Amino acid sequence: MTLNHYFADLHIHIGRDQFNKPIKITGSKNLTLPRIIKEARERKGLDMIGIIDCHVPSIQDELKQLIKNKRAFEKEGGGIHFGDLTLILGTEMEIYDINCNGPIHVLCYFPTLADIEQFTEWLSPFVTNITLSSQRVYLSAQTFQKGVKAHNGLFVPAHVFTPFKSLYGKGVNKTLTEVFDPDFIDAIELGLSADTSMADRINELHRFTYLTNSDAHSLKKIAREYQTFRLESNDFTELKLALEEKQGRSVYANYGMHPRLGKYYQSVCRNCLSQNFDNDRCCHCGQAKKIKGVSERIEEIADPTTVAMQRPPYYYHVPLDYINGLGKKTYEKLLNHFGTEMYILHYIKEDDLEKLVGPRITRQLMMIRAGEANIQMGGGGKYGSLIE
């Protein structure tokens, strides 16, 4: 048995279906299934993607048509194969029951089209509009978890620390077990403003595998966070084994945006973005409109003593579009010359890069690869930036 490394981003939205009808309202109109496949394969260089709006019947029909036309096929181990790229069928839903002062977003993944079609049929009476993304589910969190498991699904709380629509971010839920049955959780998605060491300050999370995904609402944002899996092949069965850390399968490394780049890393005033407060009132404008950052929230709920965990390495990833001086033309030149973002970020030699784009861009990319990038912190919905 040979285990290989596979690049994966398991949280990608669809903006429009094949009939140009909206799926993710806040998603780009260009975020269609064919364009996602092309971007992920040919430009990003991913091996596995999770599209988390596959509960929508029109998306299921589009996938079946692609399979019928032999442009894709269902893998024996689960997932849909497009050449060397595997699509994992997923959904994102919103939980808001009496035990959570939510709402809380969760991700679910299923092995086959038949499984997710049956899940859609089961779910439809409990959501307002099955044709849209991230719908609120009118069931208790644990009843919903059981429904996912009954349809052979994986269950993952999404971006768990972001201030809005997450498990810990609202400022009320302090423990996972207030809402969920931990035995029905397969992994935890960290989100853009937290890393492994921050999450491991909460002891109840130690038992879970951590995922780093993009939550892409546009083609450009695909793979702004990702991970490498150690698998025999890129299919659902192997993914499940990796989350369970069984038979040598695992997350090999997490590549997350530096937490300081995240738009909710630090606490800021919603009104003026000042970082100075006196009892949650802004010292600059006087407004009581504090958006509590992930770093402060984790300080509130962290356990006083924690045990050091053995985790996959967490690399501070900075997407190429954050590099100063790297505009659209230079980006296209890089792809035309070297192939994919994954190759540029991981394998390209420094001398080869400098010959093509010069020392300024090369220096920044090498600092990113070494984990030495200088970051201007983000907060209050504004992303951080790279300092040269």
Amino acid 193: pLDDT? 77
Amino acid 181: pLDDT? 97
Looking at 54-58, 105-109, 264-268, 333-337, which range is the least confident one? 264-268
Amino acid 44: pLDDT? 97
Q: pLDDT digit string (tens) for 98-147?
A: 877 779 999 999 999 999 999 999 999 999 999 999 999 999 999 999 99
Please, where are the H alpha helices in the chain? 33-38, 57-68, 113-123, 141-150, 196-199, 236-244, 294-301, 328-338, 341-346, 350-357, 359-369
- Mean of the per-residue pLDDT values of the chain: 91
Q: How far is Cα of residue 72 from the mean position of the Cα atoms in its chain?
A: 24
Alpha carbons 262 and 248: distance in angstroms, whole number: 32
Query: Is residue 71 within 8 Å of 63, Cβ to Cβ?
Result: no
Phi then psi for residue 240, to 5 deg, are -60, -45
| Residue 178: both structure tokens together | 């207030």
Q: Which amino acid is present at 235?
A: D
Q: How far is Cα of residue 36 from the mean position of the Cα atoms in its chain?
A: 15
Amino acid 329: pLDDT? 94
State the pTM of this model.
0.93
Q: pLDDT digit string (tens) for 348-379?
A: 999 999 999 999 999 998 888 887 777 776 66
Give the list of residues 6+ apart from residue 304 with CB closer than 8 angstroms, or none. none
First to last CA, the chain: 45
Domains and CATH numbers, the chain: 4-259 (3.20.20.140), 320-372 (no CATH)
Q: Regarding predicted confidence, which is higher, 222 or 261?
A: 222
Looking at 48-62, 123-137, 203-217, 251-265, which range is the least confident one? 251-265
| C-alpha dihedral, 93 to 170 to 142 to 97, nearest 10° | -90
Amino acid 263: pLDDT? 65
Alpha carbons 44 and 222: distance in angstroms, whole number: 8
79 dihedral zone (left: phi>0; alpha: psi -120 to 50; beta)? left
Q: Is the pLDDT of residue 381 over 70?
A: no
Query: Is residue 46 within 8 Å of 341, Cβ to Cβ?
Result: no
* Most confident among 120-124, 198-202, 275-279 (mean pLDDT): 120-124
* Most confident among 248-252, 256-260, 291-295, 342-346 (mean pLDDT): 248-252
